[in-house]
C-alpha cells in the first residue's frame, strides 16, 4: 500500500488524480492520510524556498506501518542546494518522496490557471518520484514519467504511464519485495 499525505492546504482534485495514477502505475492501493505538517525549519529566507530534504525527513517520521511508501504533496517551492528548484525529490530505493505543486502551476509562469494541467503534471511527477523509491532511475524515453525533467517542456512531454522498460524493472522490484515479505508471487 502507498500512502499519500497533503502537506498544507491542497486542491482535492490534485490529490484524487495523483491517487488514481499511482494506483494505475504501480498496481498498489493508495490511502490518503491526514495532512502532515510542513517542516518550518525547511524554509530558507535567503532563497525564499523550502528544502526538499527537510520535507523528506519529516515524511520519514510519518510513514504508516502498513505502507511501503509515503508521498507528500506541498504547495511550497522546493530546492536542493545544488539546483535552483526541484519539482520533487525521493529517496532512491527509500520509503518517502515529495512533490511540489508550486512550479507545476501555469500561473507560476505568468499563464492563466489551468486545473486540468496542474492535476496532470502533479500525477506525472508523483509517478516519477515514487518510481525512484522503487529503484527506477532516469529513463531515456522522453515520454516515460521516469525521464528527467529540467523544465516544463520536458514535463509536459511525459505521460504518467511508465514505458515498457521501466514497467518491467518496476514489476521485478515489486516482485522481489513481495517475495521478501513472504507474500503471494
The catalytic residue positions are 129
CB atoms < 10 A from the CB of 77, how many?
Answer: 18
d(CA 149, CA 157): 9
Which grid coordinates are listed for 6?
Answer: 497533503
In what order do the strands lie in the sheet containing 88-90? Answer: 30-32, 2-7, 69-74, 96-100, 88-90
d(CA 159, CA 183): 31
For the chain, how big is the Rg over CA atoms in Å? 16
Sole residue written with cell 518522496: 97
Amino acid at each position: 500500500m502507498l500512502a499519500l499525505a497533503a502537506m498544507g492546504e491542497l486542491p482535492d482534485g490534485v490529490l484524487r488524480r495523483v491517487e488514481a495514477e499511482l494506483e494505475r502505475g504501480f498496481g498498489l492501493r493508495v490511502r490518503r492520510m491526514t495532512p502532515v505538517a510542513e517542516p518550518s525549519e525547511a524554509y530558507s529566507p535567503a532563497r525564499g524556498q523550502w528544502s526538499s530534504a527537510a520535507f523528506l525527513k519529516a515524511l520519514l517520521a510519518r510513514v504508516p506501518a502498513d505502507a511501503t511508501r509515503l508521498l507528500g504533496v506541498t504547495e511550497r517551492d522546493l530546492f536542493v542546494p545544488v539546483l535552483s528548484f526541484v519539482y520533487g525529490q525521493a529517496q532512491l530505493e527509500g520509503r518517502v518522496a515529495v512533490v511540489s505543486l508550486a512550479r507545476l502551476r501555469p500561473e507560476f509562469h505568468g499563464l492563466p490557471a489551468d486545473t486540468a494541467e496542474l492535476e496532470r503534471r502533479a500525477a506525472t511527477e508523483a509517478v516519477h518520484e515514487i518510481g525512484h523509491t522503487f529503484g527506477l532511475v532516469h529513463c531515456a524515453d522522453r515520454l516515460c514519467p521516469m525521464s528527467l525533467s529540467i523544465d516544463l517542456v520536458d514535463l509536459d512531454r511525459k505521460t504518467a504511464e511508465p514505458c515498457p522498460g521501466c514497467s518491467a524493472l518496476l514489476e521485478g522490484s515489486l516482485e522481489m519485495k513481495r517475495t521478501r515479505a513472504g507474500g503471494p508471487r
